[in-house]
Structure 1
């Protein structure tokens, strides 16, 4: 009986160490990052974000420019559980959904993509970038996960 009580106490302690509730029913926090701009400047706007572990996010990536851009961060990709990526059409309705790990997203001119994810590890990710040429031109961003 002593062992059963100890096992129950350990199980309750472990359960309380994790977030309570059904994370699949969580309302997402929406955050937007714009890649480039109509003037042709290579930049992320905003160039820094702060996120929290255990909170569901929809990172809306918008490319209003005439250039193709990438959004990628190996550090962030390794620190989140990716739920899905939604490709939006001109009418803002989903035209495709992608499931599984996400490493990099390419955005064609005028496109919008939403990346649904849940941060599971903290860190400062200064490796948010597009291409080497764009990065050298100053297109960098930082994402902090607390």
Structure 2
């Protein structure tokens, strides 16, 4: 069976358009993200609080399952109420978002962030825009913490 280029091109147009939109999101630089979401950065962020452990020193994230929507702005408040340090590590997730800032104490950090360490009693705020849908793992990489159940999942949907 032979197809003329006219029919092949018509069938490829929607595919190419979808591919271009997808590549725009996954290849977005911070400057591109800021430009395409200028009004988004002025909107209030959806606040989510995650505790790294609890006062009983249980090795878990509370909650350990986060559901986010691509293209939305979030303010993730991280707290560590335990007597030991913990990490919030989700590298693949961090690579799929645009970080506006991380604030801890009187320090504000801008740029790419891959993990945060919270010492006992510490709090941090991570403000970001989700860019890419997917399922991302979350863990505390301190030896024994992941194995004891200090893991979670971050799901970003369209």
TM-fit CA distance, 1:20: 7.6
TM-fit CA distance, 1:27: 0.8
> 1:83 is matched with which residue?
100
Distance in 1 (CA, whole Å) between partners of 2:37 and 2:150 is: 38
What are the ranges of 5 or more consecutive residues in structure 1 without an aligned counterpart?
1-13, 89-94
> 1:64 is matched with which residue?
81
Q: Aligned to 1:81, what secondary structure does the other structure show?
A: strand
Provide closer, same or farther for how the CA distance between residues 20 and 63 of structure 1 changes in structure 2, counting only shifts above 3 A. Answer: closer
Query: What TM-score, normalized to structure 2?
Result: 0.74
What RMSD, in angstroms, separates the aligned Cα atoms of the two structures? 2.1
Q: Aligned to 1:116, what secondary structure does the other structure show?
A: strand
Name which of 31, 46, 52 aligns with 2:63: 46
Q: For residues 64-97 of structure 1, give each alpha carbon's deviation from its aligned partner in whole angstroms, at most 9, with x where no partner exists.
A: 0101000011111111000000103xxxxxx110
> 1:106 is matched with which residue?
117
> 1:135 is matched with which residue?
146
TM-fit CA distance, 1:21: 6.4
Q: Aligned to 1:138, what secondary structure does the other structure show?
A: coil
TM-fit CA distance, 1:22: 1.2
Distance in 1 (CA, whole Å) between partners of 2:112 and 2:37 is: 24
Distance in 2 (CA, whole Å) between partners of 1:65 and 1:142 is: 21
Q: Aligned to 1:134, what secondary structure does the other structure show?
A: coil
Query: What TM-score, normalized to structure 1?
Result: 0.80
What are the ranges of 5 or more consecutive residues in structure 2 without an aligned counterpart?
1-20, 26-35
TM-fit CA distance, 1:45: 0.3
1:116 aligns with 2:133: no
